[in-house]
Structure formats: C-alpha cells, structure tokens
C-alpha cells in the first residue's frame, strides 16, 4: 500500500495559537514535515533563522518570488511572507504529509493551485483573549497591535472557506482535534494506492 502525500494548511488570526499547536503536535504524526516560510519581518526574541522562518531582506524575498520559488506569498501587516515551493513539492512527491502555517490570502492561492490540500482554521477563544495574547507577546507596537486586531476581526469571517475549524480554548483539545483531522485525511481511500 502506498500513501500519497498531502498538504495541511493551518490558518487563523495572529496569536490564535498556531505555533503553540504546531509545536505540540511535533513528532505525533509519523512522516509529517513542517514547511518553514520565508518572511521579511524581523525575528522576535528567541526566533531562529531556518527554524521559525527564513528571515530575508526585501531584495532576497523579491528575487525568490520573481524566480517562481514561492508556492504562494502574501503581504501581512507591512511584511512579506511566502512558502518555499521546492520543499513542499519535493516532500509531497516523496509521500510526506506537509503542514504549513499561512494566512488567509496564501491559503486561497494554495487551494487554487492544490485543491486536494486540507485547510484548517484555528479560532481563538475570543477576541478579548486574542488581544491579551498579542499584548502579552510584548513584541508589537501599539499601532501594530491595533492592525493585527483589526485584521483578526476581518479574518474570522473567512472560516467558511476552510474544510475544518478548531477552537483553541484548551490546547490538549486542539491537539486532539488536529490529530483527528490529519489521521482521517490520511486514511482517505483516494490518498492511498492499493496493490
């Protein structure tokens, strides 16, 4: 039996808890790989190049994008973000599940190019809680916090474009939900080649 690889897109407002959720499922799905995005945003304290993101300057980002090196890209709150094409395509071709954290615009581009991708929307427990988390992170200016909150409110309505949603009130429950989604998708007959 041979399994076909597939892409899992995880979207949701800034500080909905995507990174925490992704860290929590690390190693829990055999053969699942993480796509590391490129960004022109400056690293936050503790973030590492090649682990959290590939941190590029504007010229490097533009060069990569214009040479077709990105599967999708978007501008988010004044910075560029994109998904390196080669890693995702090679990993899928090798039969891996690949998971990626991308915003709504990027998710839309990927779903047009790869309709078989599985799109999951992570919802924060409430907008108040979301604001608390963004403020607690302590890395965004007041203007940036305002912009991220405004963006979050706008983004929530796009949940209807996704295949699944997860409410991130309790991390353990969110982990259980995401693992259930990935497991069910992996067992789809259409993703398996039977002898």
Give the residues lining the site for ligand 5GP (CB under 6 A): 14, 37, 41, 72, 74, 76, 81-83, 101-103, 105-106
Burial of 186 (0-12, 13-18, 19+ CB in 10 A): buried
Identity of the residue, 20 or 105, whose beta carbon is nearer to ligand 5GP in the bound complex: 105
Q: Tell me the closest approach of the beta carbon of residue 40 to ligand 5GP, in angstroms.
A: 10
Is the Cβ–Cβ distance between 104 and 112 less than 8 Å? no
111 sits in which H/E element: helix 104-113
Nearer to ligand 5GP, 23 or 183 (CB): 23
Q: Which of 3, 158 has the CB closer to ligand 5GP? A: 158
Minimum CB distance to ligand 5GP smaller for 141 or for 189: 141
The least distance separating ligand 5GP from the CB of residue 101, rounded to whole angstroms, comes to 5
Query: Is residue 105 helix, strand or coil?
Result: helix
Phi, psi dihedrals of residue 37, rounded to the nearest 5°: -80, 165
**How near is the Cβ of 193 to ligand 5GP at its closest, in Å?**
30
Task: Give the angle subtended at the CA of 7 by the CAs of 137 and 103, to the nearest 5°.
Answer: 35
């Amino acid at each position: 039996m041979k399994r076909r690889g597939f892409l899992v897109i995880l979207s949701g407002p800034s500080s909905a808890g995507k990174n925490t959720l992704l860290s929590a499922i690390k190693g829990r799905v055999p053969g699942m790989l993480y796509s590391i995005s490129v960004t022109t945003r400056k690293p936050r304290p503790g973030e590492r190049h090649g682990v959290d993101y590939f941190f590029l300057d504007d010229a490097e980002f533009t060069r990569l994008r214009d040479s077709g090196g990105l599967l999708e890209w978007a501008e988010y709150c004044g910075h560029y973000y994109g998904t390196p094409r080669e890693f995702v395509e090679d990993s899928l071709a090798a039969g891996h599940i690949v998971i990626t954290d991308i915003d709504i615009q990027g998710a839309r581009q990927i779903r047009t190019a790869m309709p078989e991708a599985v799109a999951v929307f992570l919802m924060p427990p409430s907008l108040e809680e979301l604001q608390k988390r963004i403020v607690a992170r302590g890395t965004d200016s007041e203007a940036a916090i305002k912009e991220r909150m405004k963006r979050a409110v706008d983004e929530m309505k796009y949940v209807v474009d996704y295949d699944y949603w997860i409410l991130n009130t309790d991390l353990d429950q969110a982990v259980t939900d995401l693992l259930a989604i990935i497991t069910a998708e992996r067992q789809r007959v259409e993703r398996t080649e039977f002898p």
